[in-house]
Structure 1
């Protein structure tokens, strides 16, 4: 049977034509899909810039459905869910990213960090801790350690906080020596409640050694020595505080005066307090000096010297208490009024958030900032 070449001649052009039509259809479909995805993406960006988060989320969901392999859209969508407070959906987005086998190491670490932030914002501290711990050795290591430090402080896990702070300090990601000293003092308080006297002393010795300019370590160790009957050693610690952390002397002035009376070492204490008062008058230092003031000047003389150097309603109220007016009933009423008016002026105020308290805090109970309370009262700020 002879082969008819006519069919071949007709078949080649037909096959070429069909291939060309198919390629044009595929190209057209690709262009349509390529245009739809960017439109949804840019529409989401536009909503985001206009602070229309709900509309932006809808647009990004549409874009992700059109191209499920786009990791950047997944990250954008997850961050929007987190900012909106929809933490469950944010977690699902980032867990979906982590489950993808085609994700490279850099993007996987990024998804792990985003997932940890989801748990942290949702208040799931145990899950956040677990997620953050997996970022050790990654590009997000420093951020993860800082977040872990915040978690351990909130949960008052001072041993873990100390370990993380020491890692940050050794990695030169900031100065955390003072923070470590605070943690040591917190651990010393826990050990004191458990009756571990030797451990308390060791922790406070280390706190003083690590951060000699932190007043808390000196004051805590002084209080411990005084409880153990070593009043002389307790006073030595406070005198060392005056040299290492002179700005914090008002916090220790009262205890210093009491120890001076116990030990009979009033001269060095009067000299130390007097020098501090000459540099910057302080209510607490004046009260300590008034307690130790020799006659004939006495306490009233100390109060007057303070008022001459710096006006103070608190000191004026204390000076008036030692005066005798012609009308005792009027004096009593005036005294109560002054004490009532000066009461709020004796508080301490956080320099970070403005939270006021009657006592001095090393860590603000309002904003959780460390060393944000000045050693001076509200009236002196």
Structure 2
């Protein structure tokens, strides 16, 4: 039986036509899919620029559904969810990215960082810490360490905070010596609260060595010495404070008076306070000097006269109120009411104000309760700022 070659000649054009038609069909489908994803992407971008986040999220979801392999769309969608406060959805997006085996190393590190931010914004500090640890040795290492430092500060995990601050210092990412001194002081206070004064003393000595110019270690060490009955040593420590950080002496003025009275060095303390008051007049130094005058019993130098001398150079409603407290008035029956009104008006002027966020408090804080900034409270009252 002979094979008819005419069938081959007829079949080749038919096979070619079918192949061409199939390729055209696939190309049309591919072009349709590719055109839908960019159209949805640009629609979402347009909504985002117009601050229409709800519509932008819908558009990006549509784009992701059309092209689930596009990592950039996932990142954009996750960031939008985080900004919207929908942290659980942001976490799902970034966890989905991390589960992909084809994700590049750079995108994987970026997704890990984004996931940590999701947990931080959601307030899940333990999960955020776990997500930040794998970022060591990545381009996000510095940001991750700073975030972990903030977590340890919020949770008052001072040993961990000290370790992270030391790493940042070693990597020349800033000067964290003062923060390390604060952390050591916090640990010393905890040790003192548990009755371990030996550990507290050691920690405060470390704090002074880490940050010799920081005022807090001197003040906390003087308090610890005064508490242990070492009044003379406390005076010596506060004299060192006056040399190393004179601007902080007003914070320690009441402690200096207490320690000086306990060891018989009131005259020496008065000379020190006089010297610094002449250089930088302030309410705390003034009130300490007035207290010393009142305790001396000298009628020639009554303490209230200092208020009048202060008012001659520094206008102060606080000093005027204190001066009027013992001044006889023409209508003496109204003296109590007038004095109470003045004292009420001066209370806000005696507060301390955070220079970072403006939070005001009656006592001085080393770390602001409002914005968590360190050393943001000046050692001066609101009236003096």
Q: TM-score, normalised by structure 2?
A: 0.95
Structure 1 unaligned blocks of 5 or more: none
Is 2:350 the counterpart of 1:321? no
**Residues 265-344 of structure 1 aligned to structure 2 (within 5 Å):** 265-293=265-293, 295=298, 296-344=300-348
Is 2:251 the counterpart of 1:251? yes
Q: Which moved more, 1:138-147 or 1:251-260?
A: 251-260
Q: CA RMSD in A?
A: 1.5
Q: Please say if residues 207 and 217 of structure 1, whose CA atoms lie closer than 8 Å, have aligned partners that are also in contact.
A: yes
1:132 alignment partner, SS class:
helix
**Residues 1-381 of structure 1 aligned to structure 2 (within 5 Å):** 1-293=1-293, 295=298, 296-381=300-385
For residues 168-225 of structure 1, the C-alpha deviation after alignment (integer angstroms, 9 at most, x for no partner) is 1111111111111111111011101111111000001111111122211111100111
Deviation at 1:167, TM superposition (A): 1.2
2:303 alignment partner, SS class:
helix
Q: Please say if residues 78 and 90 of structure 1, whose CA atoms lie closer than 8 Å, have aligned partners that are also in contact.
A: yes
Q: Within 2, Cα distance between the matches of 1:130 and 1:11?
A: 65
Structure 2 unaligned blocks of 5 or more: none
Deviation at 1:104, TM superposition (A): 1.8
Q: Within 1, Cα distance between the matches of 2:255 and 2:125?
A: 40
Aligned length: 381
Deviation at 1:325, TM superposition (A): 3.6
Q: Within 1, Cα distance between the matches of 2:26 and 2:247?
A: 77
Q: TM-score, normalised by structure 1?
A: 0.96
Q: Within 1, Cα distance between the matches of 2:258 and 2:330?
A: 34
Q: Within 2, Cα distance between the matches of 1:305 and 1:251?
A: 22
Q: Within 2, Cα distance between the matches of 1:260 and 1:324?
A: 33
Q: Which moved more, 1:264-273 or 1:302-311?
A: 264-273
Q: Within 2, Cα distance between the matches of 1:322 and 1:363?
A: 37
Q: Please say if residues 281 and 309 of structure 1, whose CA atoms lie closer than 8 Å, have aligned partners that are also in contact.
A: no
Q: Please say if residues 132 and 144 of structure 1, whose CA atoms lie closer than 8 Å, have aligned partners that are also in contact.
A: yes
Q: Please say if residues 218 and 241 of structure 1, whose CA atoms lie closer than 8 Å, have aligned partners that are also in contact.
A: yes
Deviation at 1:370, TM superposition (A): 1.0
1:174 alignment partner, SS class:
coil
Q: Please say if residues 251 and 375 of structure 1, whose CA atoms lie closer than 8 Å, have aligned partners that are also in contact.
A: yes
Q: Within 2, Cα distance between the matches of 1:251 and 1:198?
A: 25
For residues 223-265 of structure 1, the C-alpha deviation after alignment (integer angstroms, 9 at most, x for no partner) is 1111111111101111111111111111112222332333333
For residues 338-369 of structure 1, the C-alpha deviation after alignment (integer angstroms, 9 at most, x for no partner) is 21211221111111111111111111111111
Deviation at 1:67, TM superposition (A): 0.9
For residues 128-186 of structure 1, the C-alpha deviation after alignment (integer angstroms, 9 at most, x for no partner) is 11111121222111111111111111111111111111111111111111111111111
Deviation at 1:277, TM superposition (A): 1.7
2:288 alignment partner, SS class:
helix
Q: Which moved more, 1:5-14 or 1:154-163?
A: 5-14
Q: Within 2, Cα distance between the matches of 1:377 and 1:51?
A: 43
Q: Within 1, Cα distance between the matches of 2:368 and 2:316?
A: 26
Q: Within 1, Cα distance between the matches of 2:214 and 2:96?
A: 47
Q: Within 1, Cα distance between the matches of 2:384 and 2:235?
A: 26
Q: Please say if residues 353 and 366 of structure 1, whose CA atoms lie closer than 8 Å, have aligned partners that are also in contact.
A: yes
For residues 282-330 of structure 1, the C-alpha deviation after alignment (integer angstroms, 9 at most, x for no partner) is 0000111122346423312321221111011111111222333454323
Q: Please say if residues 254 and 287 of structure 1, whose CA atoms lie closer than 8 Å, have aligned partners that are also in contact.
A: no
